[in-house]
Amino acid sequence: MAATSPARPPGAADPARAADAVVIGGGVIGLSIAWRAARRGLTVTVVDPAPGTGASHAAAGMLTPVSELQYGEEALLRLNMDSADRYPAFAAELEEASGLPSGYRACGTLAVALDADDRAVLKDLHAFQARLGLASEWLTSRECRRLEPMLSPQVAGGLHVDGDHQIDNRRLVAALLAALDRTPGVTLVRERAAELLVAGDRATGVRLADGRTLSAGQVVLAAGCRSDELPGLPPGVLPPIRPVKGEILRLRIPGAYAPFLSRNVRGVVKGGSMYLVPRADGELVVGATEHDLSDTEVTAGGVYELLRDAHELVPGITELPLVETYAGLRPGSPDNAPVVGASALDGLVVATGHYRHGVLLTPVTADAVAELLAEGTVPDVVRPWGPLRFTAPNTAHRPDGGTASSTASKEVSYA
């Protein structure tokens, strides 16, 4: 990109850089929004000093809306299922556009219980899934081990969810970057966003840490757990987004041990939960801790906890080379659900708060935000999750209602 004139006053947008949209944040959410928007013919600039190195790098890539179902999240389930359904086509289109593998693997998921109390938890989950009409099958311990012979004989039973899959989140990032590189109208600026530019009551662009400014018709804020920290963001436009630290391990399955595991294994272990995600290329991802912390140190306690629980379920794991420990920060909104849609500030669209489901929710978020940018509308499935649901009682709505308009009011205050 050409350099900006130093004579330009601070905060002034540079018309030479004007794009239809500037996306702040180059994780899987921001990159995929840019890709989908550019495919609709928009010019898009993505701003991130190190794209794909935050939560998108740390994640495990589980696409498991049924096996990770939580009580009270029936409304979110609809969004999660919608996004999971989009994945096969999304991954195929991305592979075509990038020339790279996406790492999508339709492998299914087995959720197993370690002891009788853990089995009761999974039995409750099974009954809840059945009430919602979701496909899952209860298996005895022996049946679990028939599917996954490396499981401990102690395993007390489990749930087979044949429709819950995975994608290699790191391959997904690489493919999105390659696709953006090949897509006309996209610019990637490897710099930190220092300030949201606002003129009157409208977002007009972003000032970068190096002093340059980028103007745009619309600004998309997709900066994960740092989204609410962007200087220039008017108070109340975004709810608080908190970091939720997750530590995660990567091991390698040597050829002699392959396949080791053939599908995602979720474990309920003495009341806690964890997961093992085997890649087709021999990587085994084991995660994840969950703490309301904002640092990315990997602790001995975190590694111990994960290996201890993984060993309870799959004793042979201690034979595998441990190749990486990592920590990332999930973006958590006040109701732990995504915040996607038009904000109270004209020209500002937000896409954050995806918490534990950022990779899963990538296709639906990208498609919805691209539609919003290009057409000014959002699909019904996303409409309940706009930022205005956190506003004052006369404008608020709960996602379960599913009918509120994301442009209902521009008056914003938090209860």
The residues binding ligand GLY (CB under 6 A) are 60, 62, 246, 287-288, 330, 356
Determine the longest span between alpha carbons in the chain, in angstroms: 74
* Smallest gap from residue 360 Cβ to ligand GLY (A): 7
Question: Which element (helix H / strand E) includes 373?
Answer: helix 362-375
Q: Minimum distance between the CB of residue 290 and ligand GLY, rounded to whole angstroms?
A: 7
Q: Identify the helix (H) or strand (E) that includes residue 22.
A: strand 19-24
Name the residue nearer to ligand GLY (CB basis): 43 or 273.
Answer: 273
Residue with tokens 């298996």: 139
Report the C-alpha gap between 41 and 47 in whole angstroms.
19
Give least dist CB 80 to ligand GLY, A: 11
The residue type found at 277 is V
- Least distance to ligand GLY from the beta carbon of 62, Å? 5
- Shortest CB 60 distance to ligand GLY, Å: 6
Residues 45, 199: Cα–Cα separation, whole Å: 19
**Which phi and psi (to 5°) does residue 199 adopt?**
-120, 120
Q: Report in angstroms how near the CB of residue 167 gets to ligand GLY at its nearest.
A: 12
Q: Which is nearer to ligand GLY, 29 or 60 (CB)?
A: 60
Nearest-CA neighbor of 257 among 322, 317, 324?
A: 317
Report, in Å, the least distance between residue 275 CB and ligand GLY: 7
| Closer residue to ligand GLY, CB minimum distance, 242 or 330 | 330
Q: Which is nearer to ligand GLY, 198 or 265 (CB)?
A: 265
DSSP 227-287: GGG-TTPPTTSS---EEEEEEEEEEE--GGGTTS-SSEEEEEETTEEEEEEE-TTSEEEEE
Instruction: Give 289 or 395: the residue with its C-beta nearer to ligand GLY.
Output: 289
| Cβ(367)–Cβ(36) below 8 Å | yes
User: Which residues have C-beta within 8 Å of that of residue 87, sequence separation ≥ 6?
Assistant: 63, 104, 165, 167, 363
- Tokens linked to 166: 């995975």
Q: How far is the CB of 245 from ligand GLY (least distance, A)?
A: 10
Cβ proximity to ligand GLY, 246 vs 353, nearer residue = 246
Residue 376 has, within 13 A of its CA and on its CB side, a CA count of 4
By beta-carbon proximity to ligand GLY, the closer residue of 17 and 356 is 356
Of 218 and 227, nearer to ligand GLY (C-beta) is: 227
Per-residue b or e along 57-96, where b marks 16 or more CB atoms closer than 10 Å to that residue's CB: bbbbbbbbbbbbbeeebebbbbbbbbbbebbeebbebbbe
